[in-house]
Amino acid sequence: MPYLVSSIIAIVSAMIILFTRYEADDSTITAELERMKSMFIAVDGFVNTYIESGGSLENVNFEELYENGILLGNIEKSASSATDKEVDGIGFKSTLTFPGSTVRWQLIPNKDEKNSSYKLLVDMRPNSSLFSKGAFAESFSGREYCEKMLFGTFQNNRVSYDETDKDFKSTIGTNSDGLFVCIVYK
């Protein structure tokens, strides 16, 4: 009898926990994650086109892609805002925000791997849907899009660009700060 009572209490407790953590509408984050997937594919496609047209990963960044006519027609080179400068320190040279999106992307060569890869810093902080579930969005994007789809390496401890070292700083980043780096190998 005590086993039956404790089993019922355990089941009721599990149901309470399940129902209190359930959120009725996850469609917003699902849609944003699908947009992230298409942006990952687009960025990798831009880099592939750049390489196929004779470009070197040693010089890859969004300004280089823009000047070579590789970025989409609706993506224009513009002066960076003060907010962008606070985040990355170098403006458009290696940052991009897709039209209709608030996620910021920063593309630089990977100096550590003898130019056989590039690094992509993804800043989801301006997107309230993704940032509200930062740990999930960061982990899912890193695992599913960076590692599985692009066969890259996911790093969630990188938080900003270091102008001196020309690399992303490996500092106190967390798995829920809305920032991560994807290293994509070519």
pLDDT at residue number 41: 95
CA 159 vs CA 32, 75, 122, 181: distances in Å: 21, 25, 9, 8
Using one digit for the tens of pLDDT, what is the confidence trace for 31-74?
Answer: 899 999 999 999 999 999 999 999 988 888 888 898 888 987 66
Average pLDDT, the chain: 80
Using one digit for the tens of pLDDT, what is the confidence trace for 9-36?
Answer: 878 777 777 666 655 556 788 889 999 9
pLDDT at residue number 80: 44
Per-domain boundaries in the chain = 26-185
pLDDT at residue number 155: 86
pLDDT at residue number 90: 42
pLDDT at residue number 88: 44
pLDDT at residue number 91: 43
Q: Is the pLDDT reported for residue 87 higher than 50?
A: no
Q: Is the pLDDT reported for residue 85 higher than 70?
A: no
Q: Is the whole model's pTM more than 0.85, yes or no?
A: no
Task: Give the C-alpha separation, 139 to 146, whole Å.
Answer: 10
Using one digit for the tens of pLDDT, what is the confidence trace for 130-179?
Answer: 888 878 888 899 999 999 999 998 988 776 777 777 777 766 767 778 88
Phi, psi of 166 (to 5 degrees): 55, 45
